Structure 1
Amino acid sequence: MALSSEKLAELDGFLLELNRAAAGAILPLFRADHGLVDKSGAKGFDPVTEADRGAERAIRQLIAEHYPEHGVIGEEYGEDRPDAEFVWVLDPVDGTRAFISGLPLWCVLIGLRHEGRPVLGSIAQPYLGEIYIGHAGGSRLVSAAGEQPLKVRACPKLTDAIIATTDPEGCFSGAELGAWTQVRAAARLARLGCDAYAYAMVAAGTMDMVIEAGLKAWDIDAAIPVIEGAGGVVTDWRGDPVGPNGGQIAIAGDRACLEEALVALKRSAL
């Protein structure tokens, strides 16, 4: 069943409420005692803080109170009714490494699936007071200055593009790193370590492409409606629609630019 404009507007308003609750849980812990724990065990480093856990608890509580029939998929507390008609997909602090470093590049990612498809999402940076929201009706930035529409910029040539990824050596396999290196060599400028904030910048028209691999659903679901609502495109490295479990992802403001990048990315597509 199609999602009505009235229902979408209702859920859009609720999404703002969820973002306010998440910000309330996170901001007192930013650049403060955040209760860092390494959840990776003996190998690697996988940080989580009380900000991650507290924000997801706050979001889940509001969903349970207002929409108890909705499902939830969250990074910190797992799945609850993942096959429901409506499912919220949560990454309470995307960019925990930036968070514990005191860098305001972490984001709150909240997405909503309807019948398995992402239809509404937000990328929020509470410290900067920014919420980037998107759906089929368009995307917008909500901030203290009010609301303004979001629109990707035209950039048909990869040689003119500003691109981003989080950590090439840490996130890409050997073949994936080779693909990234080829795309990076063609692009005008590359930025690293921006996490999901780079997604928002593509929607805002200040960056042109983000290339990532190994993403989970909660890393990307929220961004898809924001990017598409601003006129951009999100695919896997084959150029196909993103699946329900994330994976290798390419985000672009201009499809022509993405097609140039896919020449390299397809060689390492899973």
Structure 2
Amino acid sequence: IHRIHPTHGIIGEEFGNHNADAEFVWVLDPIDGTKSFMTGKPLFGTLIGLCRDGVPLVGIIDQPVLEERWVGIVHHGTTLNGQVVQTGDVVHDLSDAMMYTTDPQMFREGYELERFTSIRDAVKSPVYGGDCYSYACVASGYADLVIEADLGVYDYAAIVPVIQGAGGYISNWEGGDLHLDKHDTECHGRVVAAANHQLWTSAIDLLSSDTDG
């Protein structure tokens, strides 16, 4: 990236940041799902995102073991290994939804755990584990919802275009856009992704109520 795009910035989980205030910034996570990687579970992935003025525009979720690669471009669609994929538009009620979260322990005691519990009790079934692969399943129409917290920008910048390109919705728990400059002030590492608008609004109604930080 430095050689081909010397004016671009880089935000990386493993190697730190370089020129992070640039117009174009690449957000990299070489191994999203370290615990899965270390224990042989093939649900980790490599995340590559490109943002312009803090807004995610292009994202890649790559799972090397399964040889699956999702590429999402905002307003231009999402593909899996070159084939167009779309989120599901069949399940509209939380009571029928399959919800992913990587680990229930990622939610802090108090507000986060209470809000997560309200969603967990409302959906048809929670599914644990998956990291970035959970979002890929939503993009491909297999899962309906992902609720997570304690994320860094490198955990979701690449995922935003993949979900949006496939027709889904992704935001912070208050319904706000995921933007590099708003991570500490609005997002706080809390992310919700949904297959369609009705599921997303239902989730936001539960997640954003009685907010105390």
Q: What's the TM-score once normalised by structure 2's chain length?
A: 0.91
Point out the structure with max Rg over C-alpha: 1
Q: What SS does the aligned partner of 1:214 have?
A: coil
2:27 aligns with 89
Structure number with the higher helix fraction is: 1
- 8 Å contact kept, 2:10–2:25: yes
Q: 2:114 aligns with which of 154, 163, 178?
A: 178
How far does residue 173 in structure 1 lie from its aligned partner after superposition? 3.0
Cα separation, 2, equivalents of 1:173 and 1:148? 41
1:110 aligns with 48
Aligned ranges for residues 108-187 of structure 1 at < 5 Å? 108-135=46-73, 136-142=75-81, 147-154=82-89, 155-187=91-123
2:4 aligns with 66
Aligned residues: 204
Q: Which has the higher contact order (CA 8 A, sep 6+)?
A: 2
CA RMSD of aligned residues (A): 1.3
After TM superposition, where is structure 1 displaced by more than 4 Å over at least 4 residues in a row?
none
Gap regions ≥5 residues in structure 1? 1-62
Q: 2:139 aligns with which of 190, 193, 203?
A: 203
Gap regions ≥5 residues in structure 2? none
Aligned identity (percent) is: 41
Cα separation, 1, equivalents of 2:210 and 2:37? 31
Residues 144-180 of structure 1: per-residue CA shift (max 9 Å, x gap): xxx2101000121111111011111244333211211
How far does residue 204 in structure 1 lie from its aligned partner after superposition? 0.3
- 8 Å contact kept, 1:176–1:268: no
1:212 aligns with 148
Cα separation, 1, equivalents of 2:60 and 2:70? 5
Q: Are 2:16 and 1:78 aligned?
A: yes
1:50 aligns with none
- 8 Å contact kept, 2:56–2:179: no
Q: What's the TM-score once normalised by structure 1's chain length?
A: 0.73
Q: Which piece of structure 1 moves more, 255-264 or 123-132?
A: 255-264
1:248 aligns with 190
